[in-house]
């Protein structure tokens, strides 16, 4: 349950736009990977805590988040999988998306050392329309 609480705190910080609050929960050598289509501005790999803010900047620059709802958590030791929905409006075109997501979280001690993000195709379609 402890790791799930950490993830919930990260989600709350995301909702506030509090990137520093998120970074406080990560190891220095965190691997942060977004397995999204190339049209999505935050797709790609971010190595190390210092590069993770680029991920959030790309999200906040590209779209207005209209929905972020965690739905389920499955925890096994130092690994947690969470699912939910993400809605956004692309700032450059007004295209809208509501997509399911799956996040894979890996922990070392109390901190996140690995993160992978997967979204339904609706997200890439909204950015491809841009």
- The predicted-structure confidence for 68-96, as pLDDT tens digits, reads as follows 999 999 999 999 999 999 999 999 999 99
Residues forming beta bridges with residue 106, ordered by sequence position: 79, 114
**Residue 12, pLDDT above cutoff 60:** yes
Scan for tokens 């130092």, then name that residue: 78
Q: In this structure, are residues 52 and 23 in contact, taking their beta carbons and an 8 Å threshold?
A: yes
Cβ partners under 8 Å of residue 32, min gap 6: 26, 45, 46, 47, 51, 52, 55, 114, 115
Task: Tell me what pLDDT residue 130 has.
Answer: 54
CA atoms within 13 A on the CB side of 19: 12
Cβ partners under 8 Å of residue 71, min gap 6: 82, 83, 84, 85
In the three-class reduction of DSSP (H, G, I as helix; E, B as strand; rest coil), residue 63 is classed as strand
pLDDT in tens, 30-53: 999 999 989 999 999 999 999 999
Task: Tell me what pLDDT residue 129 has.
Answer: 78
Scan for tokens 């109390």, then name that residue: 110
- What pTM was computed for the model? 0.94
Report the alpha-carbon distance of residue 130 to residue 106 in Å, rounded: 33
Task: Tell me what pLDDT residue 8 has.
Answer: 97
Task: Tell me what pLDDT residue 1 has.
Answer: 64
Report the alpha-carbon distance of residue 95 to residue 83 in Å, rounded: 23
Over residues 5-26, the mean pLDDT reads 97
Task: Tell me what pLDDT residue 88 has.
Answer: 97
H or E stretch covering 2: helix 2-16
**Residue 7, pLDDT above cutoff 60:** yes
- How many C-beta neighbours within 10 Å does residue 54 have? 13
pLDDT in tens, 91-117: 999 999 999 999 999 999 999 999 999
Which CATH number is 2-128's, of 3.40.605.10, 3.40.50.300, 3.10.450.50, 1.10.260.40? 3.10.450.50
């Amino acid at each position: 349950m402890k790791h799930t609480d950490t993830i919930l705190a990260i989600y709350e910080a995301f909702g506030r736009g509090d990137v520093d609050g998120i970074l406080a929960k990560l190891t220095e050598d965190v691997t942060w990977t977004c397995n999204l289509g190339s049209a999505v501005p935050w797709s790609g790999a971010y190595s190390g805590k210092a590069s993770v803010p680029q991920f959030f900047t790309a999200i906040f620059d590209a779209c207005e988040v209209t929905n972020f709802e965690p739905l389920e958590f499955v925890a096994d030791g130092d690994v947690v999988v969470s699912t939910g929905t993400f809605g956004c409006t692309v700032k450059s075109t007004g295209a809208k998306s509501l997509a399911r997501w799956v996040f894979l979280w890996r922990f070392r001690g109390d901190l996140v050392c690995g993160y992978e993000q997967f979204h339904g195709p609706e997200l890439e379609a909204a950015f491809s329309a841009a």
